[in-house]
Amino acid sequence: MIKKVLIANRGEIAARVIRTCEKMGITSVAVYSEADEHAPFVSLADESYLLGPAHVNESYMNTDKIFEIAKLANVDAIHPGYGFLSENARFADRCKQEGFLFIGPEAEVIKQMGDKIAARKAMQRAGVPVVPGNDQAIEDVDEAVKLAKSIGYPVMLKASAGGGGIGMQVVHNEEELRKSFANNSERALNFFGNGSMFLEKKIDHAHHIEIQILADELGNIVHLFDRECSIQRRNQKVIEEAPSPFISENTRIKMGEAAILAAKSIDYSNAGTIEFLVDSEENYYFLEMNTRIQVEHPVTEEITGIDIVEMQFLIADNKPLPFKQEEVRRTGHAIEARIYAEDPIRFFPSPGTITSITLPKGENIRNDITFTENYKVTPFYDPMIGKLIVRGKTRDEAVQNLQTALNDYRIEGIKTNIPMLQKTAEIEAFKQGITTTAFVEEYYLPLIQINEGGN
């Protein structure tokens, strides 16, 4: 039985895991860098330990120090959150070797799904549709040019070991491909230790829709319906909602079945997400699998009433899922807006000290944050500082609640993307649920260019 857990992460997700630990009577152990010494998540935990300097390689990616603290604190398990070490197969394997439960799937599954080419092949074997593309690592640009011609432009150039939009670029012709191949390969090598690339057909006006799954160690698998995650900037999500306003109930059922099939085919356990691209005709294609909890998991929790972090702990503790698929109910609509410390026009990070905060309040509003007044946002980590989640009986009601909440949201001292979120929530296409992956380029950027030109 898990009695004490170390959270190998920081910020909002660390605070989120700590809340569930409190609910379940699990002692929480936080680890932090020198830059995060005064961050709220540090004091929220039952115990906290300094990892090292601000740089991630000396703190949140310093596995030797993490295991040293885990042994010192005498924990039973390690929760990796998202990002950092959450999809690091070697870390998961070492947890097992060191005698700690890893709150996530087996290392081999993480490794397989972390390699985008291996994941494509696994899904093809399972009979899950994949985006048209190549299934071998591309080592040089001439090979890439040849493959791109056979697939047909535009194509997506992607890092095999990539994630978070790193090493990814839309390419429209041979000239662009030749210019971008080396840079993206080098960037992937620097971030992931693997510079291998591959190509997929670019699906225009696609919807990025994912299915949340839970799988226990006894072979029981359920899905918790879908999330629409199409509003993105720099290939990173900004607004997510559940359920998707685009797909039909028939497609929703089929995608849920496909996600369960995908998880079964690789003997998956714990929480995970199957991500799909869906075209204008509602044809869906496997994109990737995230073998961890997602940033956007709260919208699923809001429409199902299921605490996904709690399920992660129960599964890791070898407990069966406490419900069957037919017992999972969907009620209402939820929308999440990511709060970034960044310039809302140029999307550049905006570190600094938060001097004043006013958070929106109400029974249909959830704030997943880990900042306070006088909190210093540093340049060392991802600029996301929190999430605003709203719900409603219908999507229209949820959109209205989002608009009201964003108008009540105030952060002073730094630039944030709140103005971008406010504008997005007022765009007619958003209110109508027309939210493809081209939304920011088609609706938001032209809007701010007009406004800038008018000034």
Kindly report the CATH number assigned to the domain that includes residue 296.
3.30.470.20
> Could you tell me if 187 and 212 lie in one domain?
no
Assigned domain for 411 exists? yes
Cβ 284 vs Cβ 129: under 8 Å: yes
Domain range for 77 = 4-103
> Could you tell me if 225 and 196 lie in one domain?
no
Assigned domain for 113 exists? no
Maximum alpha-carbon separation in the chain: 62
> Could you tell me if 232 and 195 lie in one domain?
no
Burial-class residue 53 by CB neighbours within 10 Å (0-12, 13-18, 19+). middle
CA dist 140 and 137 (Å) reads 9
Cβ 357 vs Cβ 410: under 8 Å: yes
pLDDT digits (tens, 9 = 90+) for 19-55: 999 999 999 999 999 999 999 999 999 999 999 999 9
Q: Determine the straight-line distance between the first and last CA of the chain, rounded to whole angstroms.
A: 62
**Which stretches does DSSP call E strand in 21-92?**
27-33, 47-52, 77-79
Last residue of a domain, one of 201, 221, 239: 201
Report, as an integer, the average pLDDT of 227-251.
96
Does pLDDT of 453 surpass 60? no
CATH number, domain with residue 155: 3.30.1490.20
Assigned domain for 188 exists? yes
Percentage above 70 pLDDT, the chain: 98
Q: Are strands 236-242 and 333-340 parallel, antiparallel or unpaired?
A: antiparallel
Assigned domain for 122 exists? no
* Dihedral sign for Cα atoms in the order 218, 223, 227, 229: positive
pLDDT digits (tens, 9 = 90+) for 369-423: 989 999 999 999 999 999 999 999 999 999 999 999 999 999 999 999 999 999 9
Does pLDDT of 454 surpass 50? no
Assigned domain for 124 exists? no
> Could you tell me if 183 and 34 lie in one domain?
no
CATH number, domain with residue 42: 3.40.50.20
* Dihedral sign for Cα atoms in the order 390, 394, 400, 404: negative
> Could you tell me if 92 and 184 lie in one domain?
no
Number of domains composing the chain: 3
Which residues, including other chains, have CB under 8 Å from residue 179's CB and lie 6 or more apart? none
**Which stretches does DSSP call E strand in 38-95?**
47-52, 77-79
What are the structure tokens assigned to 53, written together?
């300097």
Assigned domain for 252 exists? yes
How many C-beta neighbours within 10 Å does residue 121 have?
15
Last residue of a domain, one of 83, 103, 123: 103
pLDDT digits (tens, 9 = 90+) for 82-102: 999 999 999 999 999 999 999
Cβ 51 vs Cβ 30: under 8 Å: no
CA dist 440 and 420 (Å) reads 10
pLDDT digits (tens, 9 = 90+) for 217-236: 999 999 999 999 999 998 89
- DSSP class of residue 349 equals B
pLDDT at 188: 87
* SS3 at position 16: helix
> Could you tell me if 298 and 334 lie in one domain?
yes
> Could you tell me if 163 and 287 lie in one domain?
no
> Could you tell me if 296 and 317 lie in one domain?
yes
> Could you tell me if 446 and 315 lie in one domain?
yes
> Could you tell me if 164 and 77 lie in one domain?
no
Cβ 325 vs Cβ 415: under 8 Å: no
CA dist 131 and 123 (Å) reads 11
Assigned domain for 325 exists? yes
> Could you tell me if 162 and 211 lie in one domain?
no
Residue that has been written with the tokens 């996600």 in this structure: 259
CA dist 112 and 110 (Å) reads 6
- 292 catalytic? Reply is yes
Amino acid at 96: K
Burial-class residue 23 by CB neighbours within 10 Å (0-12, 13-18, 19+). exposed
Would the pTM of this model clear 0.85, i.e. be above it? yes
> Could you tell me if 182 and 143 lie in one domain?
yes
Assigned domain for 434 exists? yes
pLDDT digits (tens, 9 = 90+) for 290-332: 999 999 999 999 999 999 999 999 999 999 999 999 999 999 9
CA dist 200 and 198 (Å) reads 7
pLDDT digits (tens, 9 = 90+) for 51-84: 999 999 999 999 999 999 999 999 999 999 999 9
Catalytic residue among 120, 227, 292, 338: 292
CA dist 246 and 279 (Å) reads 10
The region that residue 421 occupies, defined by phi over 0 for left and psi between -120 and 50 for alpha, beta otherwise, is: alpha
Please give the helix or strand (H or E) that residue 308 lies within, else none: helix 308-316
Cβ 238 vs Cβ 248: under 8 Å: no
Burial-class residue 449 by CB neighbours within 10 Å (0-12, 13-18, 19+). exposed
Q: Which residues pair with 197 in a beta bridge?
A: 138, 159
